[in-house]
Amino acid sequence: MAKFLEYVPGNSFLHRMNPSVKLICAVLFAIACFATSNLAFLLVLLAGALVLAASCGLGRETAGLCRAVFAFSLILAVVILLTTPHGVPLVPLPWGFIGTGSLLAALTVIVRLMAAAIPLFLVFYVTKMNDITNSAVKQLHVPYKYAFTFTSTVHFIPVFMNDMAGIMEAQTARGVEFDGSLVKKVRLMIPLCVPLLVSSVRKTNSAAIAAEVRGFNLRTRESGYKDYPLGAGDWSALAVCVLVLAAAIVLAVLGL
């Protein structure tokens, strides 16, 4: 199983796609998820995203992502259930009720967030960070410093997670027990933010120095040595994502 946001080599269709097209398609797919509230349509999008993940051999990674997104979206779903009295009343509350419309809205939020997150995370699992940066600069005309900042931020997320895990293991070896309630875990982890911050600043400073030594400020759109041609599959994927977005907009306009 790959680490969080770590590139996984492969030869699937998504692996072979143009990096810029992957990003654009993932963004269009996410916009489509938020453009409509049609639960049936969102379920179809979620099923398509899961099939895409399975075709890349990333079923386990996607399952872990879905669990994390589900845990986050469940909080939003509970808030919707308690604050959105719609439909036929099912459970009376002192300030309203939980109705069939409330349940539908809560379920829609969960499905929407899961469907929107999967393609975005798949892009980073099937694409090298250097390819994302160079393709965005050469084809999307994004200034190099912005593309580098974005990909560096994504790159440092798993690095900081590994550092935090190492710090917690060191504390566990010293007799600190992180088992217990969520409040206890948070109370024990707050002091660990200081060594994590120190380590993060050191890594960031080292990365900045390395970039300066390699001529970061001299980098232009023409500096990249690798080209990223668009094939028939890339155009087809773009067309499909545009159609998905158009369908979502139509459903929203029609109120379906």
- 36 and 75 share one domain: yes
Mean pLDDT of the chain: 82
Same-domain status, 112 and 195: no
What is the structure's pLDDT at 221?
63
Domain end, chosen from 128, 161, 187, is at 128
Is 116 within the bounds of a domain? yes
194 in the same domain as 114: no
Residue that is last in its domain, among 101, 128, 155: 128
Mean pLDDT of 39-62: 88
- Whether 251 is in a domain gets the answer no
In degrees and rounded to multiples of 5, residue 90 shows phi and psi of -115, -45
pLDDT tens, position by position, 103-124: 888 889 999 999 998 998 888 8
Asked whether residue 243 is assigned to any structural domain, the reply reads no
Closest to 88 measured CA to CA, from 106, 100, 103, 102: 100
In a domain, 79, yes or no: yes
Same domain? For 74 and 152 the reply is no
Q: What is the pTM of this model?
A: 0.76
Is 180 within the bounds of a domain? yes
Give the DSSP H or E segment for 89.
strand 89-93
- Can you give the residue range of the structural domain that contains 168? 143-218
- Residue at 247 is within a domain: no
Q: How many domains does the chain have?
A: 2
Share of the chain above pLDDT 90, in %: 16
pLDDT digits (tens, 9 = 90+) for 207-224: 777 777 777 666 666 666
Do 120 and 182 belong to one domain?
Answer: no
**Residue listed under structure tokens 């393609």:** 119
Query: Is 168 found in the same domain as 121?
Result: no
Whether residues 120 and 37 fall in one domain: yes
Does some domain include residue 248?
no
Contacts of 145 (CB under 8 A, 6+ apart): 216
**Model confidence pLDDT, tens digit, residues 167-201:** 777 777 877 776 766 677 777 777 777 777 777 77
Residue 250 placed within a domain: no
